[in-house]
Amino acid sequence: MGHRMFVAVLPPEEVRDELERFLEPRPGLTWTAPSQWHLTLAFCPDVDEWRIEEFADRLAAAARRHEPFRLRLAGAGAFPSVDRPRVLWAGVRGAGDDDEVGRLRALATSTRNAANAVGGAPDGARFRPHLTLARLRGNTDATRWLRVLETFASSPWSVEEIALVDSFLGEARGGRARHEVVARLPLGPGD
């Protein structure tokens, strides 16, 4: 069995701090750890150890073809639906005049192509930009939580890199996954 890996945009510390301050006074759900908040571009459940370096190289080349752009966290939703919520998430919006969410989608396509090229077989789920906030069990009513979460909007930030992350299931506190950044790959052609 290979490595469980994902390619992601990691929000900067100040954005994570804003979201953490917003969620802190709201008990009732087990929120995901702020250190693990990310926007998944491609999830690859089985990457061979010997392909990781080539994967990082291909991602670096893909990242260079995309200029930095600005995003902010805003909006909220539930997967698979509000009626049967398993995951609550924060949404993503562009922070300028351009179609930045479209640029995020294009970046996700490039990262998935890079994963396919190294046999990383990204999961085939349609790309839906989101940041996972909580995983739900039982009959939690998502409507009330979504009304609260809809009121949050983060400061905008400039997406200037993507990260290749190795995920180790059950190795963090409380049986959560431990995430290890393997490579940070800058967007744009550089100097």
Which 8-state DSSP code applies to residue 34? Answer: G
What's the token pair of residue 139?
A: 């009959």
pLDDT per residue of the chain (191 residues) written in tens, 0 to 9: 788 899 999 999 999 999 999 999 888 888 999 999 999 999 998 899 999 999 999 999 999 999 999 999 999 999 988 888 899 999 999 987 779 999 999 999 999 999 998 888 777 778 899 999 998 877 777 888 999 999 999 999 999 999 999 988 765 566 677 889 999 999 998 76
Which 8-state DSSP code applies to residue 50? Answer: G
Strand partners, 89: 77, 132
Q: Within its chain, how far is the Cα of 80 from the centroid? A: 17
Q: Are 19 and 34 in contact (CB under 8 A)?
A: yes
Strand partners, 42: 7
- State which amino acid sits at residue 81: S
Q: Which of 12, 63, 44, 15 is nearest to 190 (CA)?
A: 63
The predicted structure's pLDDT at residue 30? 85
The predicted structure's pLDDT at residue 96? 77
Q: How does pLDDT run across 73-95, given as a tens digit for each residue?
A: 999 999 988 888 899 999 999 98
The dihedral through the CA atoms of 89, 127, 55, 121 has a sign that is positive
Domains along the sequence of the chain with CATH:
3-186 (3.90.1140.10)
